Amino acid sequence: MIYLCNGFSNGMCVDPRIKRIDEPISEDEFIEIIHNCNFKSAIGHEALANYLSKITGKRIIRNRLNLNCTYDDILLMVSLQGRLPEHPTYVEYKGRLNYSVVRFEKQTMLDIENSLKKIEDIKMGAF
């Protein structure tokens, strides 16, 4: 499933065997993807849903979902640069969003061992 999201937390992918891969894209690429795929909105803020509807020409609804991502899921991620006022307007979003495609892969035992080694290196101050 492809989800359109405005945030990611570790609780959205609880399987430790899954590796998250984040690939930045441009606003133009984001709009093209929105036009060429079927997605489910998981946008949690009404003003952002309205803004995305305007720039893409597609109806995007506010739809707070609890996601548990698996290997087959893809997230079209929209994230804000900085903070907005309490009730942002269309103009306040313009030029302040980052876009990315997030996909999930199975981790191999080698991936897991390398991750554990990096954690140990950080704990030992070797970073």
Give the residue numbers spanning the domain of 55: 2-123
41-97: per-residue pLDDT in tens?
Answer: 999 988 899 999 999 999 999 999 888 888 889 999 998 877 666 666 655 667 789
Of residues 75, 72, 120, 78, the one with CA closest to residue 98: 78
Over residues 19-24, the mean pLDDT reads 90
pLDDT (tens digit per residue) in 76-90:
999 887 766 666 665
* Mean local confidence (pLDDT), 96-115: 85
CATH number at residue 16: 3.40.50.11170
Query: Pick from 81, 86, 79: which is nearest to 9 by CA?
Result: 79
pLDDT at 18 over 80: yes
| Number of domains comprising the chain | 1
Are 60 and 41 within 8 A, CB to CB?
A: yes
Q: What is the DSSP letter of 50?
A: H
Q: What is the DSSP letter of 102?
A: E
H/E segment holding residue 74? strand 74-80
**In this structure, are residues 104 and 21 in contact, taking their beta carbons and an 8 Å threshold?**
yes
* Mean predicted confidence (pLDDT) in 3-12: 86
What is the pLDDT at residue 16? 77
